[in-house]
Amino acid sequence: MTQPLVVKVGGSTLGSHDTALEDIAALHAAGRRIIVVHGGGNTGTEWLKIHDIANEFVDGLRVTNADAIDVVTAVFAGLVNKQLVADLRGLGAPAFGLCGVDGGLLETRQLDQRLGFVGEVSAVDARPLETLLDAGYLPVIGPVGFWQDGDKTRLMNVNADTVAGEVAAAVGAAALVFLTDVAYVRDGSGDNLQELRPAEVEGLIAGGAASGGMIPKLRAGARAAEAGVGCSIIDGREAHALRRVLDGVELGTRVTV
């Protein structure tokens, strides 16, 4: 059985002009096994504002207090997830929506008390994904996990890039592709990086070349690469960028050992 492709999509690239979902549906129809991980930070921000809950980020991670986790779960595991599933099914793909709580997929622990209910992944149970893939479905994962905090099981906000990297490593993915809104990762001089080693990631972060949402993306790419999964960070706004990079066109930045 061929190893799956993991694709991370986010609100920064999805839109009326975007071809990512069209590419995913076409690849699945052609026989590729695909797992989609999605973000949706912009939608989350809008709904937090509606509920008058502060938006604050630290190193690209959303601070998530007790009020925010309810909204985050409703938006990421609900609204955004189900809209993506509906869109993919409209394109003929048998999408199946779930989040990291379902089937015990993403066990987490609290990353930092300052961040509140933000989890770092401590274990991935890939069995639900393997079951869905074997049945011909296209899993679509919303970035909410669980934390077994003593006798309480808590919902946790998990960065979607982190989820993608951990899932890719756990399933031994054929490749991991991040669809983002920049053409390349850049070094400290502002030059485009076509290739990046995992050992170089922390230097880019410490030097300020990588900041904000690029930080978890690079760390997730390094995690996947160290597990033997080739990773590409590409501009998802380009027409058919996903299919092109899988066809061997040199796009964006590759993270590889």
Specify whether 116 is catalytic: no
- The rounded distance, in Å, linking the Cα atoms of 81 and 101 is 13
Specify whether 152 is catalytic: no
- What is the SS3 assignment for 99? strand
- The rounded distance, in Å, linking the Cα atoms of 128 and 145 is 14
Specify whether 191 is catalytic: no
Choosing from 23, 217, 236, 252, the catalytic residue is 217
Q: φ and ψ at 199, to 5 degrees?
A: -65, -15
Tokens representing residue 222 in the block: 């390094």
Question: Cβ distance 205 to 242 under 8 Å?
Answer: no
Specify whether 82 is catalytic: no
Choosing from 23, 97, 161, 236, the catalytic residue is 161
Choosing from 10, 40, 41, 97, the catalytic residue is 41
Q: φ and ψ at 61, to 5 degrees?
A: -110, 135
Collect all residues with Cβ–Cβ distance below 8 Å to 176 and sequence separation of at least 6.
Answer: 5, 6, 7, 8, 164, 165, 168, 220, 221, 224, 229, 230, 231, 232
Question: Cβ distance 78 to 102 under 8 Å?
Answer: no
Please count the residues of the chain. Answer: 257
Order of strands, sheet of 231-235, starting from the edge strand that comes earlier in the sequence: 95-99, 138-142, 34-38, 5-9, 175-180, 231-235, 253-255, 195-196
Specify whether 119 is catalytic: no
Choosing from 10, 11, 116, 142, the catalytic residue is 11
- The rounded distance, in Å, linking the Cα atoms of 226 and 218 is 12
Residues annotated as catalytic (active site), given as ranges: 8, 11, 41, 161, 217
